[in-house]
Amino acid sequence: MRKLISLVVVFFLSVFGAAATAEPSVSPEKLVMEVSTQVLDEIKKDPALAAADPSHVNQLVDKKILPYTDFATMTRMAVGPAWRKADEAQRKDIMQLFRTLLVAVYSGALKEANNYTVELAKSRPSNDPRLTIVRTRLVASQRDPIQLDYRLMNTGKDWKIFDVCVGGVWLVENYRSQFASVIGNSGLTGLIAQLKDRVQKLEANKGK
């Protein structure tokens, strides 16, 4: 499951970033499919991206993802109620470390992503026109398909993706559960220490 969640970060961050510039006239299904396909194509044609070269990955994130991604909101969602108790320095540390963690996971997953293609699955209708869930599948030869569900909200100006589900696990909710356990045992200081440790281990394993 951890490997699948790592792979999903590739599609989540990429589609999340592009979604911020899409107009509501573009259906969420079309948005998710077009951007997912573009990301896969870019990975396949750029050997440095496919090999998860850190400089190329960071350029991709900085230019095509970060300008359109609200990491502050993502971080608040992941930290949960404890966010209100954090001072400015702690919030800054947590947000930066969470961003670095996701980018590190993103980098490590690129080697797997170039073997997949994306297909649109039957989406689930919503009673609220502002919300929808788009279902897709990642498929690859001689591998079981991976079901991905994207949760989107229409802000009136654009569609934005706020979470993605793989194997019944929502990405941000998964981190929220992990963070809550750490915060309950050792507070926000403990969370910051653990995030630093996880980032260091991920970066040390690059290229392995």
Between CA 116 and CA 101 the distance in angstroms is 23
Q: Please list the residues that pair with 160 across neighbouring strands.
A: 153
Between CA 179 and CA 195 the distance in angstroms is 9
Using a 10 angstrom Cβ sphere, with 0-12 exposed, 13-18 middle and 19 or more buried, the burial of residue 140 is middle
Give the mean pLDDT of 76-83: 94
pLDDT value of residue 158: 74
CATH-assigned architecture of domain 2-204: Roll (3.10)
Give the mean pLDDT of 128-155: 83
Give yes or no for residue 65 having a pLDDT over 90: no
SS3 132: strand
Phi, psi of 184 (to 5 degrees): -65, -30
Task: Tell me the whole-structure pTM to 2 decimals.
Answer: 0.70
pLDDT value of residue 186: 96
pLDDT value of residue 26: 74
Give yes or no for residue 191 having a pLDDT over 60: yes
Q: Using one digit for the tens of pLDDT, what is the confidence trace for 6-48?
A: 556 666 666 655 555 555 567 888 878 877 777 777 777 777 6
Instruction: Supply the DSSP symbol for 124.
Output: B
